[in-house]
A and B are shown apart, each in its own frame.
Chain A
Amino acid sequence: MGFLDIDNVTKSYGAVEVLHKVDIDVEEGEFLVLVGPSGCGKSTLLNMIAGLEGITSGEIRIKDRVMNGVHPSKRNIAMVFQSYALYPNMTVGQNITFGLEMHGTPKAERETAMKTVAQLLQIEHLLDRKPGQLSGGQRQRVAMGRALVRNPDVFLFDEPLSNLDAKLRVDMRIEIKKLHQRLGTTIVYVTHDQIEAMTLSTRIAVMYDGYVQQLGTPKEIYDSPANLFVATFMGSPAMNVLPVRLIERDGELHALVSAADGQERALRITHAPPAYAAYKDADVLLGIRPEAITDPEGADRNARNIQPFRNRVTVIEPAGADTFVTMTMSGKDCIARMRADADVKPGHDFDFAINMDKAVLFDPKTESRIA
């Protein structure tokens, strides 16, 4: 039993089911991020937790209390919206205390609570302003203040950073993380930005097409994606996915890939799980992250299985800290992530080093990870 139980919940509009049997237990103090492309059902799920949308079947419980049909204001939750949803006609102070006022909290208590929260978020000097006079970052703080002041069981965040510019977004991300570490509150956070998901969460639910594709810690999601969708959605640049043939050579499994010149090369696979054996001599999809392909000097020193791979460089993109190098592998564009000072030139051959410890295989039919 978790703190927030999402128990086999589905949502239908008429005959169309948009969420299929979602089952997530959130522990107290957890930071759960729902991530996925638009239309995946993540916002619908959040609205169902909030009580803004009904539940077609299944149950949502907070602290073991069934929430189905309970009015949003009676769930002891608070929500931060994408547009912040600050009441334009009220001052910042009134915005923060409106919820308390509606719940009949005495004025003196409201004032104290407001002061505490304002101090926490450093918005004391803004209390008498109207939302229209605030910058994006300030609005964001006020919206969080409005949520915090209620001291709710669960915080719900609906893409709270997507209206901010890039730099502010990073600042506010750290701010939110600090707040979570300090207050230890339970948070459900919706975003389509996989970096936000990775950096903020204690656990991530990757959603697509109304299904939870994978639920796990950021590390599990990143290193052992359950399927091709999760593998390519999480991480930037996306994981390289190459059609390869699995063969046995000298008693060990190898992935047979081709270089730009058409020459085939075998990449040895170490500590292969037993499930790989069934795919011997079959076509599979090899997934390898850009940072696992480097120049030989830049390769991970702790890695046990670095495979050399000479190939023609097609494009290089210097990005400051790293340089991204594109080559063609098994007929697909394949991105490698190099140190900025790696000596790479487009049109020339280059000795790549592939860290096969990090390689994962997918079944081309089911698109699930082979394990």
Chain B
Amino acid sequence: MAASTDTGVDLRTRLQTWLPKLVLSPSLAIMLVFVYGFIAFTIYLSFTDSRMLPSFGWVGWDNYDRLFRIREWNTAISNLAVFATLYIGISTLIGLSLAIFLDQKIRGEGVLRPIFLYPMALSFIVTGTAWKWFLDPAIGLENTMQLWGWESFSFTWIKDREMAIYTVVIAAVWQSSGFVMAMFLAGLRGIDNEILKAAQIDGASNWNLYRRIILPQLRPAFLSAFVILSHLAIKSYDLVIALTGGGPGNATALPATFMYSYTFTRNQMGIGAASAVIMLMTIAAIMVPYLYAELKEKK
């Protein structure tokens, strides 16, 4: 109720117009300090010579300069590129397929849906623990296959510097694709059935129905899935720690693990801060336009 230019307002009404602002203000203050203040502080630190503790000697772009010359950071960046691409792509593909198939009046949908979804209730640490062992050649899948008589079966990705990052993709897809399915399923259920009936009367085959009518209407679900998955990908930390610990060597390092180890174990806080800033900027580049569009639409 925008009543700002109106005349003569009594005390109760005036109090009532202040109360909402009063109620919201602690949250705003907390956000300004703990989110935006902290971001500013971290950005500031990324331009200082902080090592084990914050220190305030200004070094300009030095930390960023050094950051991009550290091999581990470059590994982390290219790992992230590989991981994010495959993770988003495969999760979307699986999620969409499962949603479309589940939407065909499947008997037992009520049983299947929770099975597809439950991994997202788990901690990444639990997921990591389960897959770490499942993929361990000595006792997991490889061992089992060999015991079953497939002597030459070999699956050693988790120990392989080249392939280890793909095991992270497998575990992450396992955890999130059910969630993507839920998003697409909700989108599919939201499509007006009369449109589908009309298209069938127009003679569209199932393939054309999906390609021309249904998928285009799922655009919002695609967008949401992309935004959320890319956000999860850039933040990924726990899974790598639990699954591979960043190894072998630092073959599965991601920016998040890099930031943590440089800041807290290698006492290179300035560089750690710089890497966090890069992460923030990457996420902001995806999130800000998305949020802006969402809020504007809602207005």
Contact = CB atoms under 8 A, between A and B. Distances in A.
Interface stretch (B6-14, B91-99, B125-133, B203-211): B6-14
Of the four ranges (under 10, 10 to 19, 20 to 34, 35 or more), the interface on chain B belongs to: 10 to 19
Interface in B2-42: 2-3, 5-10, 12-13, 16
Contacts of A66: 8
Contacts of B1: 52-54
Contacts of B2: 13
A69 interface: yes
A176 B16 CA distance: 34
Interface in A61-119: 66, 68-71, 74
Contacts, number: 36
A55 B13 contact: no
Given A54-B1, A54-B6, A68-B6, 12 more contacts: A53-B1, A54-B5, A54-B7, A54-B9, A56-B6, A66-B8, A68-B7, A69-B6, A69-B9, A69-B10, A70-B13, A71-B13
Q: With a 10 A CB-CB cut-off, give which of B7, B9, B12 has the most chain A CB atoms.
A: B7
A70 B6 contact: no
Contacts of B6: 54-56, 68-69
Contact of B16 (A56, A70, A71): A71
Contacts of A52: 1
A74 to B, nearest CB: 7
A57 B6 CA distance: 7
A181 interface: no
A70 B8 CA distance: 8
Contacts of B16: 71
Contacts of A70: 10, 13
A267 B8 CA distance: 58
Interface of B: 1-3, 5-10, 12-13, 16
Contacts of A74: 10, 12
Contacts of B5: 12, 54, 56
A74 B8 CA distance: 14
Contacts of B10: 69-71, 74
Contacts of B9: 54, 69
Q: With a 10 A CB-CB cut-off, give which of A56, A69, A74 has the most chain B CB atoms.
A: A69
Nearest to A72: B13
3 closest A-B pairs by CB: A54-B6, A54-B3, A69-B9
A244 B16 CA distance: 59
A68 B1 CA distance: 15
B243 to A, nearest CB: 48
Contacts of A53: 1, 3
Contacts of B13: 51, 69-71
A52 B2 CA distance: 10
Nearest to A51: B13
A245 B6 CA distance: 49
A66 B13 CA distance: 15
Nearest to B14: A69
Nearest to B16: A71
Contact of A57 (B3, B7, B12): B7
B8 to A, nearest CB: 4
B7 A55 contact: yes
Nearest to B11: A71
A53 B4 CA distance: 10
Contacts of B8: 66, 68-69
Interface string A7-18: 000001100000
A68 to B, nearest CB: 4
A53 B13 CA distance: 11
B235 to A, nearest CB: 39
B54 to A, nearest CB: 46
